[in-house]
Amino acid sequence: MHWPEDVAARYRAAGYWRGETFGAMLRDLAARYGPRPALISQGARWSYRDLDERADRLAAGLLGLGIGPGDRVVVQLPNVPEFYQVCFALFRLGAWPVFALPAHRTAEISYFCEFTEAAAYVCPDDDHRAFAPDTPALVLGALPEADPVELPEPDPAGVAFLQLSGGSTGLPKLIPRTHDDYIYSFRASAEICGLTPDSVYLCALPAAHNFPMSSPGVFGTLSAGAAAVLAPDPSPSTCLPLIERERVTVTALVPPLALVWLDAAGAGAHDLSSLEVLQVGGAKFSEEAAKRVAPELGCTLQQVFGMAEGLVNYTRLDDPEDVIVSTQGRPISPDDEILIVDDEDRESETGHLLTRGPYTIRGYWRAEEHNKTAFTADGFYRTGDIVRRTPTGYLVVEGRAKDQINRGGDKIAAEEVENHLLAHPAIHDASVVAVPDPYLGERACAYVICRGEAPGRGELRAFLRDRGIAAFKIPDRFEFVDAFPQTAVGKVSKRHLRERT
């Protein structure tokens, strides 16, 4: 699962991996920036010292419940300061947060709890308990705290947490990130994004997603001694007043939100003059929309092409305008290795993106079979993205080879939804594909072959909702067909299905 020892030694010698844990990092930040604001939300302002002390108290409380090194704890919280308190408390214990998204429901949460054999489930309210009835729930507002205790320092080369993969298979894969590799990725990101202790980062996207967590996200913001403002939702009506009030300097959005913000900012009702950088990523940002950002928002656009498995690319703040609007950036690290190959793994101008480096995983957690195809024999991760590289080393995302729908940054594994549809007694076969959408980039369309009479579309939606899957995974469209187009070898041709729409 981890990097070979000689490679790890190279990453340490290069100074990427510093042997520092999250817990030690926060202790050091509290010593340096103690009274300065770390986390700002609607109702609260936590200084670095507050966060450090609260993490200690919660760690002690969790220890009292028997949670310790290597235990998994599923964490599903909204954008509140307690999210980071829980993270740092678990990091200090050496227990592993498993990051669920607020949109997840019974199907996802119960799977994470069972698959990881979770010791606890941290959730926002009592209603959520039902998502994982067999796992002890810890509810926001009643988190256990106790007087701080001395704790042994976890191994910085060991796993710090499990992040979720966007996925293309039946069940989501879990991504083991270490203290060493993750801290490197967000420290380097903070530098690329020009963060200083005077920066103010607005976390508008769900805090548990890799983008607002570490690119540079809230962790990168904290590592720079800056302040992070937590928005309860990413709408312009919530966020634009926050930008004005807190003098936000940088924030991160997915493309559909960037479009809504552009339109809302045009009304001119809010003073956005503090905003220096708008990051856009998670899905392809069209060049036409990209060109609007600087003139209409008065800030620099930064395109971000990243993945929870590791590799993150950024356009640089001082790149020429044409590079910023027409590429998805270049890797963080000089030691990020990039290969672009055709279907036979031969180097190619445009093709499959493979990558290896100091913060890209070498394998998913407990997924030995899947790892054989998701990684090459020499440890490159097959991203499933189709890219081209410009002569100056910038990547342009041209498409996708993985069986996934990218619904405005929300990732849907086609097979996962197909399996739920196949559980319906009237459905003989199902195939879920992406269809283009001017606002979300893509939406999901389910092609369905029925046994006898077709159920209503509303019934199918209700059926999937009752199966307990996140709402964003429920197909936007259902098409009933008699047969699926086939490839030469007799598999369903999703390319032909996509072309039908």
Binding site for ligand OOB (CB under 6 A): 166, 210-211, 215, 281-284, 303-308, 312, 328, 383, 385, 397, 400, 406, 411
55 with 92: CB under 8 angstroms?
yes
Q: Which is nearer to ligand OOB, 427 or 432 (CB)?
A: 432
Least separation in angstroms between CB 356 and ligand OOB: 15
Q: What angle do CA 14, 17, 23 make, to 5 degrees?
A: 155
Distance, in Å, from the CA atom of 94 to the CA atom of 83, rounded to the nearest integer, reads 17
Q: Which is nearer to ligand OOB, 56 or 181 (CB)?
A: 181
Least separation in angstroms between CB 312 and ligand OOB: 5
Least separation in angstroms between CB 285 and ligand OOB: 6
Distance, in Å, from the CA atom of 354 to the CA atom of 150, rounded to the nearest integer, reads 43
Q: Which is nearer to ligand OOB, 282 or 475 (CB)?
A: 282
Q: Which is nearer to ligand OOB, 362 or 411 (CB)?
A: 411
Helices (H), 287-433: 287-297, 321-326, 368-374, 414-422
Structure tokens at 167: 């996925």
Least separation in angstroms between CB 336 and ligand OOB: 13
Q: Which is nearer to ligand OOB, 178 or 328 (CB)?
A: 328
Q: Which is nearer to ligand OOB, 103 or 151 (CB)?
A: 103
Q: Which is nearer to ligand OOB, 234 or 282 (CB)?
A: 282
Q: Which is nearer to ligand OOB, 56 or 319 (CB)?
A: 319
Least separation in angstroms between CB 9 and ligand OOB: 27
Structure tokens at 390: 């410009």
Helices (H), strands (E): how many in the chain? Answer: 16, 24
Least separation in angstroms between CB 286 and ligand OOB: 10
34 with 47: CB under 8 angstroms?
yes
Distance, in Å, from the CA atom of 37 to the CA atom of 256, rounded to the nearest integer, reads 30
Structure tokens at 466: 């009752």
Q: Which is nearer to ligand OOB, 135 or 215 (CB)?
A: 215
List Cβ neighbours of 374 (8 Å cut-off, separation of 6 or more).
173, 363, 364, 367, 381, 382
Least separation in angstroms between CB 306 and ligand OOB: 3
Residue 427: closest CA among 450, 458, 455: 450
Least separation in angstroms between CB 290 and ligand OOB: 10
Q: Which is nearer to ligand OOB, 135 or 327 (CB)?
A: 327
List Cβ neighbours of 416 (8 Å cut-off, separation of 6 or more).
167, 169, 170, 171, 172, 469, 473
304 with 314: CB under 8 angstroms?
yes
Residue with the two structure tokens 């760690």: 59
Question: In the bound complex, which residue of the shown chain has the CB atom lying closest to ligand OOB?
Answer: 306
Least separation in angstroms between CB 466 and ligand OOB: 26
Exposed/middle/buried for residue 295 (C-beta within 10 Å: 0-12, 13-18, 19+): exposed
Distance, in Å, from the CA atom of 161 to the CA atom of 186, rounded to the nearest integer, reads 15
Least separation in angstroms between CB 411 and ligand OOB: 5
321 with 311: CB under 8 angstroms?
no
Which amino acid belongs to residue 304? V
